[in-house]
């Protein structure tokens, strides 16, 4: 049966330790992807590697740290990366397309829907979209941080059947297997806990940005969207097919949650909050446990300059964010009615809906 599979490949899987593309590695992965494509699956590739591919060509001795240097390396490396993919896939008579995205593309609902329509047309034409972050224009505060997050957002956007995140280790272990021979691989995860984040640890390789922790975070995002995730190793012929058939060398993240609507995915994962709304205990309980909307009576204070339709972050009395949602008030209106009853609010301001955030446009933070 045809399914839609998003595959993410990181820099360390495509390049040498010193940087620069390893064409043998690229060809291996394109062969694996081509086999899935020929079997009738719709394939989307989320790839890192532009900066790693370009920094040696541009003359840097090691992966650059300064933003302008990384952007320059990406400008050179992205062309090299796509050329390498095009030539490799052409050997299997498969066409590919380049799609470069930034975080702000996801935060703008119209732009990301336009991107989705483009992706759908490419898949209908049996073309493999190759997706990367547009590193040449993204600034640090608007970056995904790593392409693990990007792959999860893409998987949710296209309603993928599976997300495969390829790493240089065969899954998530109870301890670092390089340091502890008694470490045990975690084969399946049904719920992501604080303990799992602790186990996941920190950074990745010298040529990449994402470690196992970023992959766990990506799995969390995908799982909330109803997309099961595999994180593990693809190093031999047939490994990618095995990974999609629950026989892979790695860890599977299952999803037993209901698939979130496109609107709630946008609110929870794509949008940029334009302000903060501070609430009392009663409002927190109503939002998190009561399935209720947020009313003005539960508002303690606000910060930021937002307008109706913007997304705001909701903060509890302990100064912890508990979620975010689409606000129906402008900041000045909410300041005027914070803490007031519904009847009092109606005498002070005119708003289309009395709820500050309707429950259908609210997304709690796990």
Task: Read off the CATH number of the domain in which 12 is found.
Answer: 3.40.1160.10
Cα separation, 347 vs 363, whole angstroms: 29
Mean pLDDT of 84-99: 97
Report the number of distinct structural domains present in the chain: 2
Of 239, 70, 225, nearest to 167 by C-alpha is 239
Picking from 263, 283, 301, the residue at the C-terminal end of a domain is 263
Mean pLDDT of 5-20: 88
Decide if 104 is inside a domain.
Answer: yes
- pLDDT over 90, % of the chain: 62
pLDDT score at 190: 87
Picking from 207, 239, 263, the residue at the C-terminal end of a domain is 263
183 and 320 both lie in a single domain = no
227 and 283 both lie in a single domain = no
Mean pLDDT of 34-51: 94
72 and 45 both lie in a single domain = yes
Place of tokens 């590919």: 96
pLDDT score at 141: 45
15 and 112 both lie in a single domain = yes
Residue 247 sits at φ, ψ, to 5 deg, of -125, 25
Q: Does residue 206 surpass a pLDDT of 50?
A: no
Q: What is the DSSP string of 256-284?
A: -SPPPPHHHHIIIII----EEEEE-HHHH
165 and 305 both lie in a single domain = no
Decide if 115 is inside a domain.
Answer: yes
CA distance readout (Å), 164 to 46, 109, 204, 229: 10, 25, 17, 6
Cα separation, 211 vs 208, whole angstroms: 8
Decide if 310 is inside a domain.
Answer: yes
255 and 278 both lie in a single domain = no
Mean pLDDT of 108-114: 85
Picking from 228, 263, 298, the residue at the C-terminal end of a domain is 263
pLDDT score at 139: 55
Q: Does residue 162 surpass a pLDDT of 90?
A: yes
pLDDT score at 116: 94
CATH label of the domain that carries residue 316 = 2.30.130.10
247 and 327 both lie in a single domain = no
Q: Does residue 251 surpass a pLDDT of 50?
A: yes
Residue 139 sits at the vertex; the CA angle it makes with 137 and 144, to the nearest 5 degrees, is 100
21 and 119 both lie in a single domain = yes
235 and 282 both lie in a single domain = no
Cα separation, 346 vs 348, whole angstroms: 6
251 and 279 both lie in a single domain = no
215 and 84 both lie in a single domain = yes
What residues make up the domain containing 13?
4-263
Decide if 268 is inside a domain.
Answer: no
Decide if 336 is inside a domain.
Answer: yes
Write the CB contacts of 192 (distance below 8 Å, at least 6 apart in sequence). Answer: 216, 219, 220, 223, 253, 366
298 and 238 both lie in a single domain = no
Sheet containing strand 42-47, strands side by side: 96-101, 128-133, 42-47, 4-9, 162-167, 229-233, 249-253, 188-189
Q: Does residue 261 surpass a pLDDT of 80?
A: no
């Amino acid at each position: 049966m045809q399914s839609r599979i998003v595959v993410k490949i990181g820099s360390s899987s495509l390049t040498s330790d010193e940087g620069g593309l390893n064409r043998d590695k690229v060809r291996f992965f394109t062969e694996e992807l081509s086999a899935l494509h020929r079997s009738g699956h719709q394939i989307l590739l989320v790839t890192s590697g532009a900066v790693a591919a370009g920094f040696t060509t541009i003359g840097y001795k090691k992966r650059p740290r300064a933003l302008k240097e990384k952007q320059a390396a990406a400008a050179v490396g992205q062309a090299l990366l796509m050329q390498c993919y095009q030539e490799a896939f052409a050997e299997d008579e498969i066409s590919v397309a380049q799609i470069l995205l930034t975080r702000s593309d996801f935060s703008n609902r119209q732009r990301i829907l336009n991107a989705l329509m483009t992706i759908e047309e490419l898949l209908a034409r049996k073309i493999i979209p190759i997706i990367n972050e547009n590193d040449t224009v993204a600034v640090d505060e608007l970056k995904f941080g790593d392409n693990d997050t990007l792959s999860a957002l893409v998987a949710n956007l296209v309603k993928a059947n599976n997300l495969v995140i390829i790493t240089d280790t065969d899954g998530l272990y109870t301890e670092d297997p390089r340091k502890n021979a008694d470490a045990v691989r975690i084969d399946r995860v049904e719920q992501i806990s604080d303990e799992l984040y602790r186990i996941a640890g920190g950074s990745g390789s010298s040529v990449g940005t994402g470690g196992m922790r970023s992959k766990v975070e990506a799995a969390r995002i995908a799982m909330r969207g109803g997309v099961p995730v595999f994180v593990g190793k693809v190093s031999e012929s047939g490994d990618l097919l095995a990974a999609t058939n629950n026989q892979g060398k790695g860890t599977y993240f299952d999803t037993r949650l209901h698939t979130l609507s496109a609107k709630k995915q946008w609110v929870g994962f794509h949008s940029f909050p334009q302000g903060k709304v501070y609430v009392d205990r009663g409002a927190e309980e109503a939002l998190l446990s009561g399935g209720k909307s947020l009313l003005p009576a539960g508002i303690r204070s606000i910060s930021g300059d937002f307008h109706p339709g913007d997304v705001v972050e909701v903060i509890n009395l302990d100064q912890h964010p508990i979620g975010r949602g689409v606000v129906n008030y402008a900041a000045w209106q909410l300041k005027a009615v914070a803490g007031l009853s519904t009847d009092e609010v109606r005498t002070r301001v005119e708003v289309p809906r009395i709820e500050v955030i309707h429950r259908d446009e609210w997304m709690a933070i796990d």
